[in-house]
Structure 1
């Protein structure tokens, strides 16, 4: 057997040994544990479609906190502004308890448009419907 064939044979064996090891690790996690995930992404209630905000105003962003899981991995929320399909780097509020259900934000000085939405982050992100920001 040539040295190149020997190296390939060893790599082949190593691959299957690692594959078997990872397969055993995956099988060691009970299916019940995989189903108990506590990702929480509450739906945004306000702003809703048809809402018009004006630069500099303050508004309560609200979301539905009913049906939240008992154990939430990340209870700290963050609200970011999004224009169209491009997330903007504007954080309107952060480090609040996601179970509050509302937080007051100030409308930033941005280009007017009717394609804004908010992204509410906790364990996961949830988008508001599109709304308008005017001058």
Structure 2
């Protein structure tokens, strides 16, 4: 009985370690290695006060000058959301990304402004292995 208790304890330690490794976020690396890294580039446009007409082409930019080598192959998703005063909810439209599959290292992605309700509290959120939001901007009728 004592041997089976030790065996169960050893198995539990191995299972817990495996679960911790499998739960860690990973970045794709073509070499096949699993890399754990969080890289949050600063969004440089749009900035607070910008105005995007519906249907126009816009470029969202971020500073990728300090991207670590481990994040060179990260791809991103760009989501549109909006902020409401007094709420921390970003109201992200995850069903309709503005862009996806682009390389974070490029520092920019072009988008077509969707047909949405005009308002002045829109944000874009860049998601790679973490999310970071722009300042509030407007989407207007043409």
Same fold (TM over 0.5): yes
Matched, 1:124 2:123: no
Does the residue aligned with 2:40 lie in a helix, a strand or coil? coil
**Aligned twin of 1:96:** 102
**Aligned twin of 2:39:** 40
- Matched residues in 2 for 1:83 and 1:112: separation? 11
Number of corresponding residues: 114
- In the TM superposition, residue 45 of structure 1 has moved relative to its aligned partner by 0.4
Matched, 1:113 2:119: yes
- In the TM superposition, residue 37 of structure 1 has moved relative to its aligned partner by 4.4
Larger Rg: 1
Structure with bigger helix share is: 1
- In the TM superposition, residue 39 of structure 1 has moved relative to its aligned partner by 1.1
Structure with bigger strand share is: 1
- Matched residues in 2 for 1:105 and 1:48: separation? 15
- Matched residues in 1 for 2:39 and 2:106: separation? 13
8 Å CA contact 1:73, 1:123 repeated in 2: no
The 1:128/1:21 distance shift into structure 2, 3 A limit, reads same
Q: Which runs of 4+ in 1 moved over 4 A?
A: none
- In the TM superposition, residue 122 of structure 1 has moved relative to its aligned partner by 1.0
**Aligned twin of 1:86:** 91
Task: Give the unaligned 5+ runs of structure 2.
Answer: 22-34, 84-89
Matched, 1:21 2:13: yes
Q: Normalising by the residue count of structure 1, what TM-score does the alignment of the two structures yield?
A: 0.72
Q: Normalising by the residue count of structure 2, what TM-score does the alignment of the two structures yield?
A: 0.69
8 Å CA contact 1:83, 1:115 repeated in 2: yes
- Matched residues in 1 for 2:91 and 2:64: separation? 27
- In the TM superposition, residue 73 of structure 1 has moved relative to its aligned partner by 7.8
Task: Give the unaligned 5+ runs of structure 1.
Answer: 1-12, 30-35
